[in-house]
Amino acid sequence: MEIEHASNIHRAQDFTALIYAQPGTGKTSTLKYLTGKTLVVDVDRTTNVLAGQPNIDIVKLDTRNPAQGSRD
């Protein structure tokens, strides 16, 4: 088994990450500190903590009919 140090890994330009944790642990607030353009899929309408952030776009998922997108 080969061990590779994370400091030697080069990230692609179109990097994608999924942040998953228990409610109330600061996932949404953490997005304010990511560099670059960020797209947030809001499933529980808790993105108000991101108000005024210039590099964040939010799509609100219609949880009653997720295939149709937002009804807002």
Global pTM reads: 0.61
Per domain, the residue ranges of the chain are: 17-68
- Give buried/exposed letters for 25-36 (b at 16+ CB in 10 A, else e): eeebeebeeeee
Q: What pLDDT, in 10s, does the model give residues 8-53?
A: 888 777 777 888 889 889 988 888 888 888 889 888 888 998 999 9
User: Structure tokens of 17?
Assistant: 């990450």
Rounded-to-integer distance, Cα 72 and Cα 69, Å: 9
